Amino acid sequence: MVKIVVLAGGVGGARFVLGLKAALGLPPIGPPASEAASKQADTAEHDITVVVNTGDDIWLHGLRICPDLDTCMYTLGGGIDTERGWGRAGETWVVKAELARYGADPDWFGLGDRDLATHLVRTRMLHEGYPLSVVTATLCTRWRPGVRLLPATDDRCETHVVVTDSEGLRAMHFQEWWIRHGAALPASEFVQVGADEAEPAAGVREAIAEADAVLLAPSNPVVSIGSMLAIPAIRRAVRSTTARVIGLSPIVGGCAMRGMAETCLASIGVRCEAGAVGEHYGARVTGGILDGWLVHTGDGAPVPGMEVREVPLLMTDIAATAAMATAALDLAGLAV
């Protein structure tokens, strides 16, 4: 059985995994058709583990909200609102409006009524003492994403943004910076609060160590992939796996597919170019994490210590994304 581990953020990461599943002959949405086959580990051909960023996670209205885990779960389980890329299809916002009438802050966060049920179940289980990895597995018994979703950590490790503007220097949660302020405030630093003490969630180390390929999805290199690699034991696991580690550039032709990456890269002094992001991740042979780097056609530039290949990297549909995933697995030395 071929074991594949993907490090992924939210919208971009989830869309990439849809293509990866298709590349492996799995239905992109939902569980493998032959449920029995996937249960008989020896007959299932592939085992996909997605290690998901938890840096976006936030306590709001007394609820624990995990945007990237939910985006992956809904996308792969068929419940996502495909226009927004986050939250539930057919969503309503009655509770959000009621909270606003009470003046219950914050009113800037899009708390959907259907989504609320996920946060209520998760919060209740967390209060009962279950780790986030168990909560996620429980939520996935409903959504059946067809892959194993693991939070990067069961510990608190939130991305906060340091802003320096006319009001002086202050920090705020990533969600407030991204949603309330539209990522428009000048961010001087992104801090993963708790990263040094955070441990990988149960199963993460083992999945990376036992993988036949480790892929970095085309997610935000700073606040999605970067947040996970800020957890020391995750970085160590990626650097020491016997699998080849292959990244896919989220930057195509000098611009990020999801607006935020450009802003985040500028804040940490990395040029918004595929080659610069590859260098930012670094080659494993020189202390970084990558063995190979997939860039969009035309963005090819040598990056010392890693094999760079050019393929179309626009996730325009599942077939295009499947081709990207196939190219990444090929660069990892796996023919699918």
Residue 70 in the binding site for ligand FO1 (CB under 6 A)? yes
Residue 77 in the binding site for ligand FO1 (CB under 6 A)? no
Minimum Å gap between C-beta 281 and ligand FO1 is 19
Can you give the three-state secondary structure of 206-273, one letter per residue? HHHHHCCEEEECCCCCCCCHHHHHCCHHHHHHHHHCCCEEEEECCEECCEECCCHHHHHHHHCCCCCC
If DSSP codes are grouped into helix, strand and coil, which group holds residue 200? Answer: strand
Backbone angles phi, psi at 258, to 5 degrees: -120, 120
Residue 115 in the binding site for ligand FO1 (CB under 6 A)? yes
Strands (DSSP E) contained in the chain are 2-8, 46-52, 58-60, 63-65, 148-151, 158-165, 168-173, 187-193, 213-216, 244-248, 251-252, 255-256, 292-296, 307-311
Minimum Å gap between C-beta 182 and ligand FO1 is 8
Question: Identity (one letter) of the amino acid at 122?
Answer: R
* Interface map 126-155 toward ligand FO1 (x if CB under 6 A): ------------------------------
Residues 11 and 258: their CA atoms lie apart, in Å, by: 9
Say how many Å lie between the first and final Cα of the chain, rounded: 12
Residues 106 and 86: their CA atoms lie apart, in Å, by: 19
Residue 109 in the binding site for ligand FO1 (CB under 6 A)? yes
Residue 267 in the binding site for ligand FO1 (CB under 6 A)? no
Can you give the three-state secondary structure of 53-81, one letter per residue? CCCCCEEECCEEECHHHHHHHHHHHCCEC
Q: Which of 19, 87, 221, 226 binds ligand FO1 (CB under 6 A)?
A: 87
Q: Which of 10, 275, 278, 288 binds ligand FO1 (CB under 6 A)?
A: 10
The smaller minimum CB distance to ligand FO1, of residues 110 and 298, is found at 110
Minimum Å gap between C-beta 111 and ligand FO1 is 7
Q: Which of 16, 177, 178, 281 binds ligand FO1 (CB under 6 A)?
A: 178
Residue 292 in the binding site for ligand FO1 (CB under 6 A)? no
Residues 252 and 297: their CA atoms lie apart, in Å, by: 9
149 within 8 A of 128, measured Cβ to Cβ: no
Minimum Å gap between C-beta 272 and ligand FO1 is 17
Contacting range for ligand FO1; rule: CB under 6 A; set: 8-16, 44-52, 244-252, 293-301? 8-16
Please count the residues of this chain forming the interface with ligand FO1, following the rule CB under 6 A: 17
Residue 179 in the binding site for ligand FO1 (CB under 6 A)? yes
Residue 288 in the binding site for ligand FO1 (CB under 6 A)? no
Residue 68 in the binding site for ligand FO1 (CB under 6 A)? yes
Minimum Å gap between C-beta 209 and ligand FO1 is 27
Residue 56 in the binding site for ligand FO1 (CB under 6 A)? yes
* Interface map 11-40 toward ligand FO1 (x if CB under 6 A): x-----------------------------
Q: CA dist 271 to 76, 220, 255, 274, Å?
A: 32, 14, 10, 9
The smaller minimum CB distance to ligand FO1, of residues 87 and 221, is found at 87
How far, rounded to the nearest angstrom, does the alpha carbon of residue 153 sit from its chain's CA centroid?
13
Q: Which of 49, 175, 241, 249 binds ligand FO1 (CB under 6 A)?
A: 175
133 within 8 A of 202, measured Cβ to Cβ: yes
The smaller minimum CB distance to ligand FO1, of residues 27 and 259, is found at 259
Nearest to 149 by CA among 6, 334, 263: 6
- List contacts with ligand FO1 (CB under 6 A): 9-11, 56, 65, 67-68, 70-71, 86-87, 109-110, 115, 175, 178-179
